[in-house]
Chain A
Amino acid sequence: MADEPQVIDKPAPKEIIAPGYTFGTVTDQIAAVVLTKKTPPLFWMGSFAVGFGLLLLFLLAVGVLLMKGLGIWGLRAPAMWAWDITNFVWWVGIGHAGTLISAILLLLNQQWRNSINRFAEAMTLFAVACAGMFPVLHLGRPWLMYWLFPYPNTMAIEPNFRSPLVWDVFAVSTYATVSLLFWYVGLMPDLATLRDRATDRFAKFSYGILAMGWRGSAKHWAVYETASLLLAGLATPLVLSVHTVVSFDFTIGIVPGWHSTFFPPYFVAGAIYSGFAMVLALAIPLRSAYGLQGLITDKHLDNAAKVMMATGLIVGYSYILEAFTGWYSGNVFEEAAIWNRMTGMYKYQYWTLIACNVIAPNALWFKKVRSSPVILFIWSIIVLIGMWLERFVIIVASLSQDNLPSSWGRFEATRWDVATYLGTIGLFLFLFFLFIRLLPMISIFEVRTLLPQAKVKEDEA
């Protein structure tokens, strides 16, 4: 810890916090977003309205699904997994960047995480909430989904622990729980700040209950630091294992195009790639709408873009490796699986994904691209589209044309596939903008530690 302040003191071209901030102004700026009595900005109103509208669409889609059954989706043999699992993997992947920022970057002592970790963790939670919808909804009998949990029952049976779909249940539910705990533990000091700053009684009471009597004593802080380091230590293997388990859903299958050993790291890299894209897609509009450029600086965008590029290159490497092993295996089915992707029914999706995930991230080598928020925003959207297509191609292209030519078919999405997907985007926006309005989107106390005042004291100590 001794040399840490020196790192910050180094004159950097871009700071992780704009000069001139004090403890008071940092707190003012972040708390004002939540505690302000004024009507929230148009940006919030608009985004929340879109989110709420799409959420209603989601409820409609789920209602129709429960009444009519899975047949309203385009799932037909041979492609019995399509948009449902594509969206599941996409959302789980997006969630991973939040944990990477809050846990892995904490373990690596990366202080630039401090002002983006709170909303990144919220993003994780809400993305996992959206992801969690699909494994349940895509069951033919979703009301029996509790059979996936091992509990004493009158049938004297338990789930088959050899199935990665059962591991998914544990992976995703553990991931959601640990993320929620980590996020909440990190929120407590800030909830105490809001409690102390709130003026109306209801707000005081609500934040007071949630802050659980946080007084910020040295003991509290010592316990807090230990707890958050432990949670970071727990969350780090979780990030890697959860998406690994998600990738097992495919690698354990014997479908050509699925049965590969490099899926676990490749999926995790893809998760972080798409997750950072979502972080950027949220951070860039947020900071300009709320004038937070001093806290979420260009340096943050630059760093996030670099991580995005690094993981994007790993993903690109995986595509090349996939094509190579397809050819190198000498297996006609493996070769055909790759060939089908490139030239078959889904060739447009495949080449779009190559453009989004292999070619596009290379633009991030250039400082000019990384320093322009507008371009970065566009790029993050490109990445999100690319990573959705990646999962779609892996799942649907592999299933549509596999070993037996008599069982080849083409998947056609129905309006309900689209509505459910848009609906989860609505759920995400709805939850996220509730979070923006009700909780501090930037960790106040962690940003305070970045200030020069905080460093001076550490030097003296």
Chain B
Amino acid sequence: MSQIFHHSTNTFTRITLFGAVFILGFAGWVVFQLSTSDYATRATQAREQPVPFSHAHHVGGLGVDCRYCHTTVETSSFANIPPTKTCMNCHSQIWSTSPTLEPVRASFRTDESIRWTRVNDLPDFVYFNHSIHINKGVGCEICHGRVDRMPLTIQYNSGQMEWCLTCHRNPEKYVRPREFVTTMGYQPAGDQEEIGRKLVAEYKIQDARTLTSCSTCHR
């Protein structure tokens, strides 16, 4: 009777046994990497807008303060997208014949809102409040990146809960004095953690336990 298995089965068996460990480990690693990747979170991708609005031009070039357009950021949970009227404050006179800005003028004529594409879109089971962050010294830049250098707006962070919690657990690493909240390219005058700890005490920022409890965000 001939042998059932050829001699090469020995090698094959070793590869499958030891390979299984690596293949399973690798598969797990790949899944985790993919789920945190920019591809999955859509971070760093510019998204198409009806009007190619450039923050780089308005903030970086013209030096407009963030709050000129996003007026409610200090008082409301929602940092508004400016209405057409805000655009028309200037663009009724400047570039008033530019074909790029035609959707803005059309919106002004017809009273129909411009359909901006939302870049930072959290799921609706997350209650995010802009004003509390601004008032406790979290700069725009921390979450939204160097908006003054974005020709088209990108989502700067992953928007994943993990990312939120890194700051809620250690806010002292990120907070800055309130007067610099909208400053782009802010550099702390000294050791960030030292200043941060003082600011956390001064602004009465809650402890990590409170900041990471479910009801803080998932109301």
Interface set of A (CB-CB < 8 Å, partner B)? 152-157, 195, 201, 204-205, 208
A155 interface neighbour in B4, B5, B32, B161, Cβ under 8 Å: B161
* Binary contact readout B33-51 vs A (1 if CB under 8 angstroms, 0 otherwise): 0011000000000000000
Residue contact A152 to B4, C-beta cutoff 8 Å? no
Q: Which residues of A contact B161 (CB under 8 A)?
A: 154-157
State the CA gap A205–B6 with chains docked (Å): 11
B97 touches A (CB below 8 Å) = no
Residue contact A156 to B32, C-beta cutoff 8 Å? no
Q: Which residues of A contact B158 (CB under 8 A)?
A: 154
State the CA gap A97–B161 with chains docked (Å): 45
Nearest Cβ on chain A to B212's Cβ, whole angstroms = 9
B165 touches A (CB below 8 Å) = yes
Nearest Cβ on chain A to B143's Cβ, whole angstroms = 17
State the CA gap A204–B3 with chains docked (Å): 10
State the CA gap A156–B167 with chains docked (Å): 12
State the CA gap A208–B6 with chains docked (Å): 12
State the CA gap A201–B5 with chains docked (Å): 11
Residue of A nearest to B5 (CB): A208
Q: How many inter-chain contacts with C-beta < 8 Å in the A-B complex?
A: 23
B100 touches A (CB below 8 Å) = no
Residues of chain B in range 153-193 having any CB-CB distance to chain A below 8 Å: 158, 160-162, 165
Residue of B nearest to A208 (CB): B4
Residue of A nearest to B159 (CB): A154
Among A152, A156, A204, A208: residue with most chain B CB under 10 A? A156
Q: Is the interface of A mostly helix, strand, loop or mixed?
A: loop
State the CA gap A152–B31 with chains docked (Å): 11
A154 interface neighbour in B4, B5, B36, Cβ under 8 Å: B36
* Binary contact readout B1-34 vs A (1 if CB under 8 angstroms, 0 otherwise): 0001100000000000000000000000000100
State the CA gap A237–B27 with chains docked (Å): 33
Residue contact B165 to A154, C-beta cutoff 8 Å? no
Q: Which residues of B contact A157 (CB under 8 A)?
A: 161
Residue contact A156 to B162, C-beta cutoff 8 Å? yes
Nearest Cβ on chain B to A192's Cβ, whole angstroms = 11
Nearest Cβ on chain B to A311's Cβ, whole angstroms = 40
Residue contact B4 to A204, C-beta cutoff 8 Å? yes
Residue of B nearest to A195 (CB): B4
Q: Which residues of B contact A156 (CB under 8 A)?
A: 161-162, 165
**Pairs across A and B, CB under 8 Å, 18 listed:** A152-B32, A153-B162, A154-B35, A154-B158, A154-B160, A154-B161, A154-B162, A155-B161, A155-B162, A156-B162, A156-B165, A195-B4, A201-B4, A204-B4, A205-B4, A205-B5, A208-B4, A208-B5
State the CA gap A155–B35 with chains docked (Å): 11
Nearest Cβ on chain B to A173's Cβ, whole angstroms = 16
Nearest Cβ on chain B to A146's Cβ, whole angstroms = 11
Residue of A nearest to B41 (CB): A154
Among B4, B5, B160, B162: residue with most chain A CB under 10 A? B4
Nearest Cβ on chain B to A111's Cβ, whole angstroms = 33
Nearest Cβ on chain A to B36's Cβ, whole angstroms = 6
Nearest Cβ on chain B to A375's Cβ, whole angstroms = 47
Q: Which residues of A contact B36 (CB under 8 A)?
A: 154
Residue of A nearest to B214 (CB): A157
Q: Which residues of A contact B165 (CB under 8 A)?
A: 156
